[in-house]
Every structure is written in C-alpha cells, then in structure tokens.
Amino acid sequence: MTTIQQQIETLREELHRHNHNYYVLNAPEITDFEFDRMMRELQELETAHPEYYDENSPTMRVGSDLSKEFQQVAHKYPMLSLGNTYSEGEVTDFYERTRKLLGEEEFEICCEMKYDGTSISLTYENGLLVSAVTRGDGVKGDDVTKNVKTIRTIPLKLQGNDYPASFEIRGEILMPWNVFEKLNEERAANEEALFANPRNAASGTLKLQNSSVVASRKLDAYLYYMLGEDLPCDGHYENLLKAREWGFKTSEVTRKARTLQEVFDFIRYWDSERKNLPVATDGIVLKVNSLRQQRNLGYTAKSPRWAIAYKFRAERACTRLNTISYQVGRTGAITPVANLDPVQLSGTIVKRASLHNADIIESLDLHIGDMVYVEKGGEIIPKITGVDKEARFMVGDKVKFITHCPECGTPLMRNEDEAAHYCPNDKACPPQITGKIEHFIARKAMNIEGIGPETVEQFYNAGLIKNAADLYNLQTADLQLLDRMGERSANNIVDNIRQSTEVPYPRVLFALGIRYVGETVAKKLANAFPNIDLLQEANFDTLIHVDEIGERIAQSVIRYFADEENRRLIERLKEAGLQFSLSENILSERTDKLAGKSIVISGVFTHHSRDEYKALIEQHGGKNVGSISGKTSFILAGENMGPGKLEKANKLSIDIVSEDEFLKMIE
C-alpha cells in the first residue's frame, strides 16, 4: 500500500468512527471544526487520487437521520448540504469565484444566520401543508407531517392568494434555548438522560411517535429556502419576504450585501451578537440572491456553487487545570472530570469539564497546572479541547489515569472493545452499591418518593441498607434515629416503600439494574418470560430469539442470574411482596393468534396508534418488524402506505391487511 493510500484509509476509518460517535452514540470526541478539517483533507486526497475511489467513503454521504418508525418519502428536489468554511479568506475566495463565474455581472449576496437545528422540507399544495419530510439521506427522508403540524410557527394554511399552487419551502426546526433548558431541568428531576444540545433535543423530539408529546415540547421553525416551478420573484430574499406575508416565520436578521465588505460586517457583527438570539446558530449562510444567477452557477456533486456556509469557531476559554477527580457510576464505570480555575464561557462560569476516558487524556498530553482550552460547542457539559503548551511553565506531573478505584482501592479493568475503565468490585464498592439502590428507587423504576441520592447515602452510611432488599426491612423507628428525619418523613418513606410492591413486573425488572436492560428491554423480556423464574432459567439461545435481544444483552442477563448474590436478592424481594410476574389481567389478554407471524406496520391509522398496534401484535404472540422481506407474513396497512413498500409487497406477494381486518383477526 502506498503512503497516500494508507493516509486515505486512515482518514476514512477515523471519520467513520467519529460519524458514529456523533450521530449514533451522541458522544463526539472531537470538535466539528476538527471533523470538517479531516473531511476536507480526505476530500482533497480523493480528488487528487481518483484511483482510490470507494463508494462507501465517508465523503460520499451527507449524513442520515432515517428511522424505521416513519414512512420514507423521496424528495422531489434532493436536499443538498452547503460547503463549509471557517476562514475569512475562503469567504473572499467564494466571492471572487462567484464574480468570475458570473462573467463580472453585478450580484447581491443574501446573508443569513445558519440555524443549528434539524432541517425540514415542507410541501404546500393550494395553500395547505401536505407534507413535512426530514432530510434523511438527502434523497429520501422520514415523513414527520403529523409531528410538524404541532409546531405553531408552521402555517397549516397560508394567508393571501398569491402563493404558487404547489411549492416546497425548507428550513430548520429548532428548540429555543429557554425551552431546552427547562426540558433538561425536568429530565434531570426525573432522572432521565439529558439532551446534549438543542439540536439533538429538536431532532429527538421530531422523531417521537406520540405527537402530543411533540406539541408539549414547543419547537420553533425558521424557513430559509423556497423551491418550485413558479416562485413569485427572481430574488431569494424577495421570495422569503413573500413567504413571511403568507404566514411563514423567516429570520428577521437576514440582509442583502452588495459588497464583500458588507458581507464581512454581517459576519463579524453576528459572531458576537448571536448569543442574544433565542435559538442556536452555528454560522452564517451566504447565498447569491438572484435565482437566475443561481441557475447559472449550478451545483457541484454535493452542494450548490451559489452558496456557502461560514461556520463560527466555538467559543473557547483558557484556564488552569488544577486536579482530576474520578467518579464511579453504578455500573462501576469511571468518569474522569477536570477541576479548573473558574472561567467565564458563553454566559456561564465553568469550573469542571468532562474528560471522557483515558485515551482522551492521553491524546491531550495533560499535565496538572496546564493552561487548557475549554469549549462548549453547543453542549452543556464543557470539554477540554487542547493545551496551551507555550504557557507550560513549571507544570506538575503528566496526568496518568488511575489504576485503582478511588472509592474502594480495587484494581481497575478495561474491556478490550470499550473506552471506559471499570471498577470490578460491584459487591462492595460504595458508590456502586448506592448507585444501584438509587437506580432501583428512581421514578421510572420502583418510583419510591421521598428518597433521593442523599437519603440513600445517609441510610447506607448508617448501616441500614446494603442493597435494594434491605429497603423493605426499614422500620420507622430506625429512620427516626437519623439526622434531620422527623416521624412524619420516616413514616412517609416506609409507606412509599411498601406501596412500591404494587409496581408491575416489567418495571421491577428494569429496577434490578441488570446491565444493558433499560426500560424497553425490560418490557420485551417481561413479555417473553412472563415471570422471573422463566427468565432466570432462559439460556442464551432462547434469549437471543426474543425480538430486539442481542448477544450483549443475553450475556448480561445470564451473567446476572449466574451470580448467587443476585439470586438471593431476588428471593428476598419476592418475600417482600414485589411483582415478579405479569399480572393476571395482562396474561389473560394474551393469545397466540399471531404466533410465528412477522408483521410490518405501515401507513396512518384511525382506531389505534402505531405503538398500540405494536403492543397488540406482541400481546397476541406476533412479532413486529421494521422492513418488508420474504419472511414478512403480512403488512398491517393504514392509509397512505408508502409507494415503495406497496411495490415491494406486491413483488414479494405479501398480503396487505387493513386495520379492520387486523382487529377481526385478534378479536
């Protein structure tokens, strides 16, 4: 392999990994800036060396947000992305290139904010919103019309009468900062995972199946691009003014520039002023205003030649690294946290920054006392992105990841394919014990009110509890001996604990805290194994045959039940009266009318929601699958089943069952 080929391969591998970290794991390890830089380096190498073409190179894709829960629809006009730049020099290049390509003809540049949300394409027919589709892979996207209709700033019916009979308008769906902060506060209070930034919150919300929850999340939308055969004006800016008359929300800060100087004035002003906008922005978009000139300029393979995005550098602060602390989670995972000299960054004071794992510490070459750069980059938890090595003067030791658990002293372990270190002492490491109990009592698990993390620690330190089963032995008298614990609170706590014995089996299963068994997996397991004895006896093969249970979960379940201590815990919880089987009601409603059937759900339904149909399929022993294949038994089809699915079903001669027919089948 040549050095160039080697370089290309390495970049591709790295970019694939970062893509996955960003889009799937939601845990980026590098800044967007660094990512774009690598992507451009790869693009340049690939252009210079077409002999190493690879159709699966990361440069080939525009990113995809497709999910199997929604109908997929082809875009009439593909949703392209914009070329990114980070330097003023490249903006000048863009401007000069445009001038040349237009043969020295005069032109205007429309300067807009680059909104940092999730893009959407809306289609209007005769003044009515008929569909809203996500970007998807740029060629086809998810039909999220029902959810988009809950967004108040998106008109369902247009005002006036001079709109084209049919057109598309594209824009960005956003969660305003204040809504985002409130949502995360609520989620923290409910012990739910926080959204990393408003962009993730907006795209996550748009993909919810329940549109009433979407409505409650108060999304907003800015529209910035109109497409159609008979738009009112030749100017992009002028068309957007028209769109505003018809009822669309368009940005009020968009301006037309006649010179490069005016473009730079706009960029520099908004680089600092954008922090006062109600929604997140991450740059400026510059577009040649005349549609005629846009057509003349045309497109490259991936983006228009008539527009460019100038991305802002994330705000960055420089401060001293004082110490590193290591937190131990309930599963024993160790999280390193940097303690910093307090510093002001994008409106808040930052004292701590996450360091993720040992590899990241190593790649930063951190020393205690170093002056480090911290960035927020749209995330709430700031991260360290670099070290000012020039400022290194009399620094302390190089940061070495700990080898032993800071809480119990046990040597740490690291699995080959994982980035995190673990403390294996799950039986006696205090934060693992209290962490497991905290998980057990959480709202989505046993929902025991009146006890929070501090109370758990207090009980544990007083020697009252060592595991979840001990909670059920607590007596009011024991609790009253504790600090700040009156008779009333003590009574309440004991009552709440007793009440939790009513919590249904799937949630009890979730509460046990078996690794990789979250809420949804717990439900699946409870359905497949209606009591805990059946689950305990299940072997690997039986487990992986359950819908959505993979090898990792199966192994984890087996490991959990192989442990004598866990089995004893369950025995004690059984004695305390907890629910370890599905209720008679649920069991009596279960049938095997759909046993052995693989069913695809498609379209829009009137009697039940999609989720309810999924539950019904499972209740009657069937299996809901995402896509049509030769193994599909039938398609449960509502209205507007996607044409692609219909064609595939016909090709494979798969039966299509209507809502009413289906309900009869399970009657």
Closest distance to ligand IVH from the beta carbon of 276 (Å): 18
- Please give the Cα distance from 97 to 34 (Å, whole number): 26
* 75 Cβ neighbours under 8 A, 6+ residues apart: 121, 133, 136, 138, 139, 140, 141
Does the annotation mark 444 as catalytic?
no
- Distance between terminal CA atoms of the chain? 64
- The residue from 304, 369, 378, 450 that contacts ligand IVH (CB under 6 A) is 304
For tokens 């995402």, name the residue.
626
Nearer to ligand IVH by Cβ, of 29 and 168: the residue is: 168
Helix axes 260-273, 88-101, angle to 10 degrees: 150
- Please give the Cα distance from 461 to 474 (Å, whole number): 14
Nearer to ligand IVH by Cβ, of 117 and 382: the residue is: 117
Strand 118-125 to 383-387 pairing: unpaired
Nearer to ligand IVH by Cβ, of 200 and 432: the residue is: 200
CA of 628: how far to CAs of 74, 202, 602, 663, in Å?
A: 18, 29, 10, 21
* Part in contact with ligand IVH (CB under 6 A); list of ranges 110-118, 334-342, 364-372, 429-437: 110-118
- The answer to the question of residue 115 lying near ligand IVH (CB under 6 A) is yes
* Part in contact with ligand IVH (CB under 6 A); list of ranges 114-122, 188-196, 311-319, 504-512: 114-122
* DSSP per-residue letters across 588-633: HH---TTTT-EEEEESB-SSS-HHHHHHHHHHTT-EEESS--TT--
Helix (H, G, I), strand (E, B) or coil at 63: coil
What mask, x for binding ligand IVH by CB under 6 A, covers residues 46 to 85?
----------------------------------xxx---
Strand order in the sheet with 307-311: 84-85, 307-311, 281-288, 109-115, 255-257
Nearer to ligand IVH by Cβ, of 118 and 432: the residue is: 118
- The residue from 114, 439, 610, 620 that contacts ligand IVH (CB under 6 A) is 114
* Part in contact with ligand IVH (CB under 6 A); list of ranges 108-116, 139-147, 478-486, 617-625: 108-116
- The residue from 133, 309, 372, 636 that contacts ligand IVH (CB under 6 A) is 309
- Please give the Cα distance from 507 to 324 (Å, whole number): 36
Which 163-222 positions form the footprint of ligand IVH (CB under 6 A)?
Answer: 172
- The answer to the question of residue 412 lying near ligand IVH (CB under 6 A) is no
* Part in contact with ligand IVH (CB under 6 A); list of ranges 109-117, 228-236, 514-522, 652-660: 109-117
Closest distance to ligand IVH from the beta carbon of 115 (Å): 4
Which residues lie across from 143 on neighbouring strands? 133
Q: Where are the alpha helices (DSSP H) in 298-416?
A: 358-364
Strand 334-345 to 316-328 pairing: antiparallel
- The answer to the question of residue 527 lying near ligand IVH (CB under 6 A) is no
Instruction: Give the distance from CA 214 to its chain's centroid.
Output: 15
Closest distance to ligand IVH from the beta carbon of 135 (Å): 6
What mask, x for binding ligand IVH by CB under 6 A, covers residues 264 to 303?
---------------------x------------------
Q: Using an 8 Å Cβ cutoff, are 653 and 618 in contact? A: no
Count other Cβ atoms within 10 Å, centred on residue 9. 14
CA of 116: how far to CAs of 185, 276, 282, 312, 393, in Å?
A: 21, 15, 6, 11, 39
- The residue from 94, 95, 124, 225 that contacts ligand IVH (CB under 6 A) is 225
Closest distance to ligand IVH from the beta carbon of 310 (Å): 11
What mask, x for binding ligand IVH by CB under 6 A, covers residues 427 to 466?
----------------------------------------
What are the strands, taking DSSP E only, across 98-186? 109-115, 118-125, 128-134, 140-142, 166-174
CA of 630: how far to CAs of 72, 598, 602, 636, in Å?
A: 20, 10, 16, 16
Closest distance to ligand IVH from the beta carbon of 309 (Å): 6
Sign of CA dihedral 180, 184, 185, 186: positive
Burial (Cβ within 10 Å: 0-12, 13-18, ≥19) of residue 607: exposed
Which residues lie across from 307 on neighbouring strands? 287
Closest distance to ligand IVH from the beta carbon of 75 (Å): 12
Size of the site for ligand IVH (CB under 6 A): 14
Which 129-148 positions form the footprint of ligand IVH (CB under 6 A)?
Answer: none
Burial (Cβ within 10 Å: 0-12, 13-18, ≥19) of residue 640: middle
Nearer to ligand IVH by Cβ, of 285 and 635: the residue is: 285
Closest distance to ligand IVH from the beta carbon of 114 (Å): 4
* Part in contact with ligand IVH (CB under 6 A); list of ranges 28-36, 112-120, 140-148, 480-488: 112-120
Which 595-634 positions form the footprint of ligand IVH (CB under 6 A)?
Answer: none
- The answer to the question of residue 112 lying near ligand IVH (CB under 6 A) is yes
Annotated catalytic residue: which of 114, 376, 524, 614?
114
* 154 Cβ neighbours under 8 A, 6+ residues apart: 122, 129, 132, 148, 221, 248, 249
Nearer to ligand IVH by Cβ, of 305 and 648: the residue is: 305
Residue of closest CB approach to ligand IVH: 119
- The answer to the question of residue 119 lying near ligand IVH (CB under 6 A) is yes
Closest distance to ligand IVH from the beta carbon of 112 (Å): 4
Which 343-362 positions form the footprint of ligand IVH (CB under 6 A)?
Answer: none
Q: What CA dihedral angle connects 499, 501, 502 and 507, to 10 degrees? A: 120
Q: Which residues bind ligand IVH (CB under 6 A)?
A: 80-82, 112, 114-115, 119, 172, 224-225, 285, 304, 307, 309
Catalytic (active-site) positions: 114
